[in-house]
Amino acid sequence: MENLKEILKKEKYKRIKFKISRTQHLFVRAKINGVWGDFILDTGASNSCIDFSHIDMFNIVASESTTKATGAGANGLFTQVSYKNHLQLGRWHQKDFNFVLLDLTHVNNALTEYKTKNVHGIIGSDVLLIGEAIIDYKECTLYIK
């Protein structure tokens, strides 16, 4: 029987390696509008997001939003949105991708407490659904179509 890697390669999935931190977060590198950054891969986050402090770094154009964000450790966070961005994970690309922009200070403060690397944002289930993602935890690999 073929192994998972071979089957998914035939199905045109791309392999993206991730790292598991001491806090059990999954860390993945992503390129936004041509700029690489560090992100948490979060299956529980409905939308991918970027911290307000990195808008310029990723050449983001922010637009107003009336939506308030809620997440672990924070509720009612002010948000903005950015449309038509280019997202790349490994060799997988998504053009015209929208990001939620919000203050992720609470996330990075928690990571700092555990002496873990800070992040520029979160890759959420919106990406995982678009890419029909499969996560192989044992091999620390995200497969995305």
Q: pLDDT class for 16, splitting at 50, 70, 90?
A: very high
CB-based burial, 63-99: b 16+ in 10 Å, e otherwise? eeeeeebebeeeeebebbbbeebbbbbbebebeebeb
Query: What's the N-to-C CA distance of the chain in angstroms?
Result: 22
The helix/strand/coil state of 92 is: strand
Q: What is the pTM of this model?
A: 0.90
Q: What is the pLDDT of residue 64?
A: 81
Q: What is the pLDDT of residue 78?
A: 78
Q: In sequence order, which residues have a C-beta less than 8 Å from that of residue 1 and are 6 or more positions away?
A: none
Structure tokens at 56: 């310029």
Q: What is the pLDDT of residue 1?
A: 40
pLDDT of residue 29 exceeding 60:
yes
* Superfamily name and number for 4-144: Acid Proteases (2.40.70.10)
pLDDT of residue 70 exceeding 60:
no
CA distance 60 to 133: 25
